[in-house]
Amino acid sequence: MRRRDFLRWGAAGLTVAAAGRPRVAWGRGRAPWMLVPMDEVQADHLKAYGLAFRSLERGDKSEWFLNYRNGSFLLPASAAAQRDASLAGVTTVPIDEGALTEVRAEIQQNNMDAVPLEKVPKVAVYVPPNATPWDDAVTMVLQYAGITFDKIWDQEVITDRLQTFDWLHLHHEDFTGQYSKFFLNYSGAPWLLEMVDRNQRMAKQLGFANVPALKRAVAETIAAFVERGGFLFAMCTATETLDLALASVGVDIAASYADGTPMDPNASQKMHWERAFAFQNARLELSPAIAVYSDIDGHQVNAADRRQPLGTFKLFNFSAKIDPVATMLVQNHREVIPDFYGLTTSFMKQSLKPGVTILADEAGAPWAKYIHGERGQGTWTFFGGHDPEDPQHQIGNAPTDLSLHPHSPGYRLILNNVLFPAAKKKELKT
């Protein structure tokens, strides 16, 4: 839902009651509601999102209480919902109408809002058919939370199957067609040879001259998906390379590994940044011998002389009633979060287009970690880094066991984005 659609409502549906801290309590019979608290009392923050998602799948009308107990959910206390919460190990609190009135009063009187959740988002993850599932943080957390999704790849995108989805995730795909420059460290690795072969066969099958041409077409189709009203969430390499591909129409930005030939030395000046989502005026990395794409990423993890150490990033505090979209995207029980590397870890602020909303950054650093914006009728969100609970992620690392991280604040940010499309504006009475 676009930001301006939320501005027409906010407190309109809240019922005012006596001031003071709300009392959450049972009535004499079964309480008609359950509150899913998202503060420190929650036993599993990640599975709580799955509980809310499945409630929507059953046709229940739910609400997201922004900034109330760190972004809690209100769900109908049906027998199915109670059984689901018990099986998932999610903390819930029965709440009667009197207590709910008090909660709504507190929400209205403070920097909080109550957002109806009325739509079940149809979720797609862009990933090669045989990709390792534990190498994608979003795939892992969707599976852990119990949120249904489909996998799609180039053929589905090019044939416009995207129009059947509401939400699309991109992770570490290299949309410049350079295979993330893995040749520098993994030349001859069977998995890399298979990746190259798979991409080349797909490009030929779909009628493209080469892999960079295919990936640029995929990027353009994804941009059209957002312009029509789609929700895009990208992490790691996909953030930077998606924009590089979009801006490179008529420009060859793929360096040659075959003979070490660098790209056009004037490529940076030829880019069409108006076509990109988030970035502008970036300087491309011309050398095929350095596993970096551009100067967009502040951490430059693969450039030995430029690599920056990890710190922490802090979520911005937004007004729930004035800017509920950004508020939804930063709901968390932690404000300061340990940083984590990816091939693209962060985004230099000097490279951001005007109008991009910074959702989180590192204090005193020239880069942002988490950004958001609009395009056409849709929205996009970019989150730097690869795995919030694996700061030094390397190829071949053991999969992250999310049962050991049920309170992960970094993974919560991912799930905020998954649930964001479920929010629907409240129609005002005439």
Give the pLDDT confidence of 274-320 residue by residue, as tens digits: 999 999 999 998 887 888 999 999 999 888 889 999 999 999 999 99
Separation CA 45–CA 337 (nearest Å): 15
For residue 429, the model assigns a pLDDT of 31
Arithmetic mean of pLDDT, 373-395: 93
pLDDT at 24 over 60: no
Assign 3-state DSSP to the chain and report helix, strand, coil percentages, each to 5: 35, 15, 50
DSSP state of 49: H
Between 48 and 23, the more confident residue is 48
Q: What percent of the chain has pLDDT over 90?
A: 74
Q: What is the mean pLDDT of residues 149-170?
A: 96
Q: Look at residue 397 in the predicted model and tell me its pLDDT.
A: 79
Considering only residues 27 and 424, tell me which one the structure prediction assigns the higher pLDDT: 424
pLDDT at position 21 is 42
pLDDT band at 260 (very low <50, low <70, confident <90, very high): low
Using alpha carbons only, give the angle 205, 208, 213 rounded to the nearest 5 degrees: 135
Which domains, and CATH codes, for the chain?
Answer: 3-117 (no CATH), 123-422 (3.40.50.880)
Tens of pLDDT, residue by residue over 124-137, are 999 988 776 557 99
Check residue 305 and give its pLDDT.
87
pLDDT at res. 121: 95
pLDDT above 70 as % of the chain: 89
Confidence at residue 14, expressed as pLDDT on a 0 to 100 scale: 35
Q: How far apart are CA 114 and CA 110, in angstroms?
A: 11
Among residues 415, 409, 405, the alpha carbon closest in space to that of 381 is found at: 415
Which tops the pLDDT comparison, 391 or 297? 297
Task: Report residue 17's pLDDT band, with 50, 70 and 90 as the boundaries.
Answer: very low
Neighbours of 28 (CB within 10 A): 6
Rounded distance between C-alpha atoms, residue 29 and residue 96, angstroms = 9
Residue 8 contacts residue 321 (beta carbons within 8 Å): no
pLDDT of residue 19: 34
Where does residue 338 rank: exposed (0-12), middle (13-18), buried (19+ CB within 10 A)? middle
Q: For residue 392, give the nearest of 330, 327, 345 by alpha carbon.
A: 345
Please give the Cα distance from 241 to 233 (Å, whole number).
Answer: 14
Sign for the CA dihedral angle at 240, 245, 249, 251 comes to positive
Residue ranges of the alpha helices (H) in 118-189? Answer: 137-145, 154-158, 183-186
Question: Is residue 70 within 8 Å of 331, Cβ to Cβ?
Answer: yes
Structure confidence by residue, pLDDT tens digits, 331-355: 999 999 999 999 999 999 999 999 9
Specify the pLDDT at position 104. 97
Question: C-alpha angle with apex 140: 239 to 175, nearest 5 degrees?
Answer: 25
pLDDT over 60 (residue 161): yes
